[in-house]
Amino acid sequence: MRNLKLYLIVLAVLFAGTVNAISLDEFYEAVLNPDSISVGAEFNKFLQEAETVEDIDDAVQTWSSYDDNACRDWITKAYKKHKTDRNLGIARVLVETDPAAAQKLAKKLIILNRKDPLAYQVLVMNLLTQLAPYLNAEDWFYYNGDLIKHSSYIKRYYDLAPEADWALFGKLALDMAQNRFQDARDTLQKMAGFNIQLNRIFALGDLVADPGWRELMQYYVGLIPEHVQSYGDPEAMLDAASALSSYWSEQEEWTSIVDTFAPIPETLDLGEVFIDLLIAYDKLGRNQEGLDLMAGYSDGAAAEIITWWRTNYPEKGLQEYIDSLRQEFNANPVVDAAYLGSLSETTQLLNEGRNYCAAYPEALLGYKTLFSSWGEFFTKESYSNAETDIASADFRADLELWDDYALLNEEEAILSIQNLLERIYYGEKLVNATLIYTLRPSWIETPGIQFLAVNSFFNLADYDSVIRLLNYMVDAKTISAKDLEQLATDENPVCAHKDWQSLLDYARSIATPDEDN
């Protein structure tokens, strides 16, 4: 069914640029101010110069969304007086809620305008908006029969306007209704060439259960590589891919999933399709291909993919898939990465992160997992330098692994600590942050860590430590005298500290000309 295009009301600016005696945005103003002006009179002015069915439809829906009864009554009464007015006739069809009555009105409009494509368009629009989800073959038979009954009108419209969007939509639906599948493919190819999006009219998820439409959508998905080269984003084609993947997964048609999506990498941008492909490989005994697919992205990509699966589609048999991989493969880095991604419990992630570091010391994933998990841990638990605190002692022991991490990739290793401290800071475990940042002398050299530490002390009202760190940040050129002066302007409480003025004077004394400016 047609949807009220309420976005046209909210974003009235979209109306701008339509060339009419009264433009759509001017008619919109009339709808908003019905007491100061006759909406019907303004609608009539608009109709006199409206050039497209879409414009008339937008105006009708705008009016009806505010006052459906007034819109319907005015158009019905006006039509009775002026039945030969094409645009008024189009509006009358659009406000008719009974499909059969609307089709009858549209046919009368065609009789009066036999060579005018717009008269046919409103009939085709009505026919296609009656397209319901495929529920059973019997209902589908009656709908297709209705399309075939109107085939002469649909064909005539296409002959009059072979490049018009709705003419192509109508022809495609008729081709399918008459089982002319090659003609339907040709029509779809033509639509793709004009960048006409199939999902603009058809709810593809509602049609995929029909064998003919399902085959057509499979063909449509196959056009993605060519479409990407010409137009970029293949939105409607990916919509078809999603519908197909969901249907085949429910029906356990694993071969169809592999044959359709494996050769078209663009479809794997859809997470659900990617997951269904992994499951299909597993069900077909072809897990190595799934591992190769995940390994082809980046170090640790398998963990990210499986984490996304766990977060968004836990009902899709994740644990069964992971168990299958671990039974089939031993000491496989991709499988072990996938296993890491399937975990959510912090203690388990700490243990398995260490195990991954031990098994694959050159891979970054284990270290990244380990210190991310420690960040989560210390948002809930307190850190202590006391040796009797077992968890804190374990963390300090794990810093030897952090040292290895830094040798592999210093930038990423430092970022892992900054992220850990940031997580703790926003988790309001501020004392944890003030203790942990000191565990490696080099960490404080990172500006992001400096700011996290000084803000932690500030929120704890430990202004002695704030002043100490601000001195360090001045020396490190992380902040300037101007930054400190801004704090004074904001009447920051740290400015009342006994050492504040000496800090400010020092910062000014070492300021360079560039900093002064």
Helix (H, G, I), strand (E, B) or coil at 92: helix
| 315: Cα separation from own chain's centroid | 20
Q: Output the pLDDT for position 30.
A: 65
**Closest Cα to residue 220, out of 240, 235, 202, 194?**
240
End-to-end CA distance of the chain: 64
CA distances to 71, 129, 173 from 101, in Å: 18, 14, 21
CA 439 to chain centre: 40
Cα–Cα distance measured from residue 419 to residue 410, given in angstroms and rounded to the nearest whole number: 14
Give the whole-angstrom CA distance, residue 173 versus residue 129.
11
State the pLDDT at residue 251: 96
Q: Output the pLDDT for position 488.
A: 81
- Whether 59 and 42 have beta carbons less than 8 Å apart is answered as no
203 DSSP assignment: -
Spans of the chain below 70 pLDDT: 1-25, 28-37, 134-135, 514-517
The two three-digit tokens of residue 407, written as one number: 């040798």
pLDDT for 24 equals 64
- Tens of pLDDT, residues 135-166: 677 777 888 999 999 999 999 999 999 999 99
Q: At which residue do the structure tokens 């809620």 appear?
A: 97
- Tokens coding 27: 């008619």
pLDDT at 383: 98
Closest residue by Cα to residue 361 from 306, 326, 407, 330? 407
Q: Where are the alpha helices (DSSP H) in 50-164?
A: 53-81, 86-95, 99-112, 117-128, 137-149, 151-160
Of 157, 183, 161, 20, residue with least CA distance to 87: 20
Cβ distance 47 to 88 under 8 Å?
yes
pLDDT of residue 513: 73
